[in-house]
Amino acid sequence: MKPAPPVSKSRAIGSFCSAGQDELRRQGESEVEQLQSLRGMVDLLPAATNRWQWLEQTAREHFRRSCIREIRTPLLEATELFARGIGEAIAIRYAMEGAKVVVSARTVDDGDHILPGSMNSVVQRINDAGGEAAAIRCDMALAEDRIALIAETEKLFGGVDILVNNAAVTYFIPIADFPDKREKLMFEVQVHGPVHLAQLAMENMRQKKNGWILNISSHAALHPEVDAAGSGGTVYGMCKAALERFSTGLASEVNDHNIRVNAISPGLVATPGVVHHGLVNDTNKDRVVPVENMAEACLRLVHDHGGPLSGRITYADVMLEEFSLAPAELI
């Protein structure tokens, strides 16, 4: 097993948002609806998932017989934040190799979100260990925030050498019932946002003829079997599939500028958001992998030691096996 070589003196920026998730509570006069954390709710633990699904199915049948076709209930989003879970691990792993890291999210301080973790706690963890990191709050659904994010990063550390796009707002709703505004929000954060940030960051990369863009994808991008039970994840899968196609297309466009672009999926990682929403259960708990695996795979995709990698749609476990990577213990 070989440890990964250092990412020396790089400026790495990770983009995230948080709308109930990684995702978005609107501020001010935004065109996107304001999303509030739901208070006073009881967590649905994995052991109760089957009973809850039975209750939902029974309720649907009773409503159908009563000709009740539409009931609006609160929607909870599964999330992946830079301020916690996968994004936090990537930021820390890059900092361990000497990268100057900018952490971007909407959750600034602990307690700002229903889940634990925040930008400031990640930055403090890195700085306390002797690394160099800064936090810049950004609503990834707003173009002006994305522009400010890159501008402020350049003021702090110079141009961006490594861009990690990990922001995602997610609603699991069947297509027949999917609100137009929420579909647009998901595409803004998970597709348009990464494209815009890449455009902004590439100005410096093209001048230097060097840089890396890493897009965090998901197995949801894979096409489901026609007889697979629907879970309302079609729009989320559409966003991730678009992100993967963007990754390979951009990789071919900027190859001559020595800019590497890849997309990677983590597998099942028990992040706070995943656990909170009961996405780990008895049927899949054996497939849970440490977050360090994803962090190590993401490190290999942002350096050229051992040969450049670009245009890949890959997975954390594949990267670990292919390059005999030994995940490092995070500081």
Q: Is residue 201 part of a domain?
A: yes
Q: Is residue 140 part of a domain?
A: yes
Q: Is residue 281 part of a domain?
A: yes
pLDDT digit string (tens) for 132-167?
999 999 999 999 999 999 999 999 998 999 999 998
Q: Which domain holds residue 106?
A: 11-25+78-322
| CATH number of the domain encompassing residue 83 | 3.40.50.720
Q: Is residue 70 part of a domain?
A: no
Q: Is residue 85 part of a domain?
A: yes
Cα 151 from chain centre: 22
Q: What is the pLDDT of residue 184?
A: 97
Q: Is residue 229 part of a domain?
A: yes
Q: Is residue 42 part of a domain?
A: no
Where in the sequence numbering do the catalytic residues fall? 236
Residue 244 makes CB contacts below 8 A (sequence gap 6+) with 215, 217, 221, 263, 313
Q: Is residue 240 classed as helix, strand or coil in its secondary structure?
A: helix
Taking the model in full, what pTM does it have? Answer: 0.74
Nearest to 186 by CA among 238, 221, 245, 149: 238
Quick one: tokens of 117?
A: 């973790």
Residue 273 makes CB contacts below 8 A (sequence gap 6+) with 21, 22, 78, 79, 80, 81, 84, 85, 115
Distance CA 293, CA 325 (A): 9
**Sorting pLDDT into bands at 50, 70 and 90, what band is 106?**
confident
Q: What is the pLDDT of residue 183?
A: 97
What are the distances in angstroms from CA 33 to CA 26, 27, 188, 193?
6, 9, 13, 17
Q: What is the pLDDT of residue 23?
A: 31
Average pLDDT in the chain = 79
Q: How many domains does the chain have?
A: 1
What DSSP state is assigned to residue 232? S
Compute the average pLDDT of residues 92-97. Answer: 96
Q: Is residue 46 part of a domain?
A: no
pLDDT digit string (tens) for 186-237?
999 999 999 999 999 999 999 999 999 999 999 889 998 888 776 788 999 9
